Structure 1
Amino acid sequence: MSGGMAMGAPRERLVERALALILEGEMAPGDAAGQARTALNQWRIKSDEHAAAVQEARQRWNALGGMAHDLRAHFDEPEGPLMANAANAAAAAAATASSTHRQQRRKMLFSVAGLLGAGLVAGRGVQWYWQQPVFRSAYRTRTAQMLKVTLADGRSGRNGAIGAIGAIGATGAMGSQLDLAPQSAIEVTLYRQRRFVDMAHGEVRFEVSPDSDRPFEVHTRSATIEVVGTAFTVRDRGGPVTVGVEHGHVRVRVTPPRGLAGAETRVIDLYKSDQLEIVDGQPGRVQQADTAALSAWRDGWLVFENTPLGDALAAVNSYRARPIVSNSARIDAMRLSGRFRTGDSEGLLAALPTILPLTTVVHPDGSVALQVR
C-alpha cells in the first residue's frame, strides 16, 4: 500500500466517503451498484488510511443494517417510460430527468453517509432513527358513520411491510383492528419499537395484534392504556372515560388532574370482563361487566347499564342530525339502562318518559329538549 502513513483512527471525512461508496454499492440499481463496489475497492487500496476508513465504515453500516430496507426505496431509479423512444424529444426529456434523479440520489448518499458518521457513533443518530415514526394517520367519523381500520403492524409485517402500514378495511392482514363509532377521532402513530394511538373523543374498539417487542398504547384525556395483545373498548363522550376488556390484559395509568395536590398516578390492571370508569381523573372501582356490550354499536345496538343520561345522550346523538339536549345537570345525572337500536332514536325518545321522570319538547329545527316532569 502507498501513502507511508501509520495506521490509526481514520479521519471522519474519509469514513463518510467510504460510507457513501458502501451505500451506493448496497442501494444503487443495476450496473451502478457494481461500479460503486469497484470504486470502493480501488479507493481502499490507495493508502492505509483509506483501508482503515473502509473498515470503520463497514462496522458502522453492519451495526445499523436494519436501516437498509428503509433506505433502499429512496435510491431506486425511475422505471419504464423514462427510457422508451430514445430518438424523440420525450425520451431526451426523460433522460434529463433520469440524470437529475441520479444527481439527487448521489447527494442523498453523501447526506446519509454524514448521518452515519460521528453522530451515530456517539449514539445520537441511532436514537434519532428509532424515534422516527414509520406511519402516521388521523381517522375521524361523522354523524352515523362507522369506520374499520386495519393496521399492518403484526409480527409477520414488521420487516417487509413496515413501510406499508395503514390499510383501511384490508382483509388477511395480520394486524390490529380498530373499529370507530360515529363522531370519534383518533390519531395513529407507529414506531419501530412502539405503537401509539391518541384518542381525542368518541368510542373505539381495539383488537390488538400481539407483539411483545412493540407495545400498544392508547392515550385519552384521563389515562393511558398499555397493552401487548388483547381486545378492549374505550369510550370517551365527554363524561367518564370507560375502559372494558373483552379478553387479554391491559394496564391503565390514570393521570390525576393538574393542580390536584398530593395526587399520584394510579396503575390498574384489567383482565377479561373487567370494566373501569374514570371520572375527572379519578378511577372508580373495577367491576365485572358484559364488556362486549360497550361495542355493541358495531352490530347496530346501543347498550346502557346504569349509564348517566348525559353520557348516554352523547352516544345517541352521534347518530342524529339534530341532537337530544337536556337543560340541567340533574337530568344529565339520571341513570339509564336498556338496549336500543342505533337507528331508532325516536323509539328511545318515546320510551324515556316511561323510564324516567322526563318530558320531551320538539323544537322547530328538529332538536329535542328534555325537561324534568
Structure 2
Amino acid sequence: MVNRPTDTPLDPRLEQAADWHARLQGDADQAVWLAFTEWLEADPSHRRAYDQVESLWRQLAALPAEPQAAIIDLASRRKAGPAAPANRSRRWFLGGAAAAAAALALTLTGRHTPTPLPELFETGQGQRRMVTLADGSSITLNSGTRLSVALSADHRAVVLEQGEALFDVAKDAARPFTVAAGDRLVTVVGTAFNVRHLDRSVTVTVTRGLVDVGDPAGGAKVRLVPGQQISAAQGQPPGPVTAVDAQAATAWAQGRLSFDNAPLPQVLAELSRHYPLPMRAEGAAATLHFSGVLRLDQDQEKLLETLQGLLPIAVVRQGDSFVLSKRP
C-alpha cells in the first residue's frame, strides 16, 4: 500500500536536487551541465541530496509494477492538481519537474513512518566491506562496488549499480527482498546469494535457499536453487542455468579467488579488479589455463611471484601495467 504524502515541506536541498535530476534527463546543453556542476560543488550537502534523489529514482525502477504505477500516479496528481489524468506515462514522470520528484521522495520515504532514505554503500579498488542492515540481513561488497538499500514496512530493495555483492538475507515473508542489477531483478525472502554486475552483464549464484531472477517489468522468472548460476547480458535473454561450486564462486568474500582451469586472461582480468596496476597476458601466455586459489591479502608483486611459481610465465612491468609472457 502506498502512503499519500502530507503537505509537510520537503528539505529545500532535496527539492533542488530533484529539479536538477529532472532537468538532466532531457537534452541538457553544456550551460545546464556547468550550472549543475557549480551547484553540486557549492556545498557537500548538495551532493548528498542528489545521491538520495538519484537512488529514489532507481528504487522506483526496482519496485513491482503495481506500486510503481501508484507512485507515478500520486506524484503526477501532486504536480498538476486533482484534475490531472490518472494515466500519466512514466516517461512524462521521469521528465517532470521537482514537484513530481518530491512526491516520489515523500512516498518512498513514508512521511508517516521513520523509514529512512536509501543508504549508499561503496568500496574502492581492492577494498571489501560487510554491512549489516536493520532487518538483520548482511551484504558483503567486493572491490569497486556501489549499491543503495531502502528498507520499508513491506519491502526491502537494493540497487546494485556496479560491482559484486554477497547477500545473506534475514527471513521475513512479509517483506520480500529484491536486488535490481542492470535489467535483472532478483527476488527472495530469506536466502544467501551472490550478484555480479560488471561490463553490462549480470550473474546470479545461489548458496542457500531459493532465488527468482527476472526483470523489473515483471516478465518470466527463473528459479535457482543452491549450487546454480545464471548470467544475462544487458538487453539479452538470460543464458542457461548451470551448476557451479557456489563456495568457490563466493570465495572472494573470505579474501580468496578460486579458479578451475580458467584461461589466464580471465584470471588476470579478475585479479586486476583488486590491485592498483592492471595485468595482462601476451602471446602464448594467453593460451595458458590456471587452477588454484590465490590470496588477496598479499601485495601485487608477491601475488605475481606466486603465479610465476605455478605457471611457466615471466612478468615484466611496462609503464603502469604488468605484462605476462610464456617462458621458453
Contact 1:358 1:371 in 2 (8 A): yes
- Give the aligned residue type for 2:275: R
Using the aligned pairs only, state the percent identity.
Answer: 31
Q: Is 2:260 aligned against 1:305?
A: yes
- Which residue number corresponds to residue 126 of structure 2? 144
Tell me how far apart the structure 2 counterparts of residues 300 and 277 of structure 1 sit (CA, whole Å). Answer: 23
TM-score by length of 2: 0.57
- Which residue number corresponds to residue 43 of structure 1? none
User: Pick from 158, 167, 179: which aligns with 1:218?
Assistant: 179
Tell me how far apart the structure 2 counterparts of residues 302 and 312 of structure 1 sit (CA, whole Å). Answer: 9
Q: Is 2:302 aligned against 1:368?
A: no
Contact 1:238 1:311 in 2 (8 A): no
Contact 1:319 1:343 in 2 (8 A): no
1:187 match: secondary structure? strand
TM-score by length of 1: 0.51
- Which residue number corresponds to residue 132 of structure 1? 109
Q: Identify which range, 271-280 or 193-202, moves more after superposition.
A: 271-280
User: Pick from 148, 165, 173: which aligns with 1:187?
Assistant: 148
Q: After the TM superposition, list the runs of 4 or more consecutive aligned residues in structure 1 that deviate by more than 6 angstroms.
A: 353-358
Shift in CA distance, 351/146, structure 1 to aligned 2, threshold 3 Å = closer
- Which residue number corresponds to residue 268 of structure 1? 222
RMSD: 4.1
The offset of 1:212, in angstroms, is 1.8
- Which residue number corresponds to residue 162 of structure 2? 201
- Give the aligned residue type for 1:323: P
Tell me how far apart the structure 1 counterparts of residues 198 and 325 of structure 2 sit (CA, whole Å). Answer: 21
Q: Is 2:203 aligned against 1:250?
A: no
Structure 1 gaps of 5+ residues are 1-63, 72-114, 154-174, 257-263
- Give the aligned residue type for 2:243: Q
Tell me how far apart the structure 2 counterparts of residues 151 and 355 of structure 1 sit (CA, whole Å). Answer: 41
Contact 1:130 1:193 in 2 (8 A): no
1:293 match: secondary structure? helix
What does 1:54-133 align with in structure 2 at a 5 Å threshold?
131-132=108-109
Contact 1:237 1:314 in 2 (8 A): no
What does 1:225-240 align with in structure 2 at a 5 Å threshold?
225-238=186-199, 240=201
The offset of 1:252, in angstroms, is 0.7
- Which residue number corresponds to residue 315 of structure 1? 270
Structure 2 gaps of 5+ residues are 9-77, 87-102
Tell me how far apart the structure 1 counterparts of residues 271 and 245 of structure 2 sit (CA, whole Å). Answer: 20
Shift in CA distance, 283/224, structure 1 to aligned 2, threshold 3 Å = same
Give aligned pairs, total: 231
Contact 1:177 1:207 in 2 (8 A): yes
- Which residue number corresponds to residue 63 of structure 2? none
The offset of 1:299, in angstroms, is 2.1
User: Higher Cα Rg: structure 1 or 2?
Assistant: 1
2:253 match: secondary structure? helix
Contact 1:205 1:295 in 2 (8 A): yes
Structure with greater contact order relative to length (CA < 8 Å, sep ≥ 6): 2
